[in-house]
Amino acid sequence: MDRDTLRIAAVADIHVKKTSAGALQPLFTKAGESADVLLLCGDLTDYGTEEEARILGKEITSSLRIPVIAVLGNHDFESNQEKEVVQILTDAGVVMLDGDSYELHGVGFAGVKGFAGGFGRRALGAWGEAMIKNFVHETINETLKLEAALARLRTDQKIALLHYSPIAARIRGRP
């Protein structure tokens, strides 16, 4: 690998299911041939179960020979097994980020799941019902975790890895 270049492949929303064994091998093989690192940007599993995570872990260990860095998405929390999902994927060699930072060949990666809440003038404010305040508070917590992770990086190049889009342009034209 040319140390001046880090080739990055990234994919989100792979939604591994109980029936997904073998389905990601072509994608992972292609990523391994054309990239130096693979970023998995959340919704790694469909229902956030240990079984789905084991299937993904096996796909990763059997198909990839490059580092994998990942964050969870909302689907990965569905079954309240997110700690187990993280442990299974960590055991498979995946660097799981949740307010953490990681450096690879001079490039820094910081990651969180992120959270919903809107953008600019349409951003939801912490006002009114407790449920809305809690929702906005979670968004702020995720933002602060990412900010702290980015601040810990001492690399010239920094990449923020999230499941939820941090900028409005990314979702323009989508419902």
Q: Could you say which architecture CATH assigns to the domain 8-170?
A: 4-Layer Sandwich (3.60)
For residue 104, pLDDT over 90 is answered with: yes
Q: Is residue 119 predicted with pLDDT exceeding 90?
A: no
Whether the model clears a pTM of 0.75, i.e. scores above it, the answer is: yes
Per-domain residue ranges of the chain = 8-170
Average model confidence (pLDDT) across the chain: 91
Please report, for the chain, how many H helices and E strands are present, in that order: 4, 7
Instruction: Find the helix or strand (DSSP H, E) in which 38 lies.
Output: strand 37-41
SS3 call for 12: coil
What is the per-residue DSSP string for 96-126?
E-SSEEEEETTEEEEE--------GGGPPPS
Question: What is the per-residue pLDDT across 28-55, written as a single tens digit (0 to 9) for each?
Answer: 999 999 999 999 999 999 999 999 999 9
Q: List residues bridging with 158 in a β-sheet.
A: 108
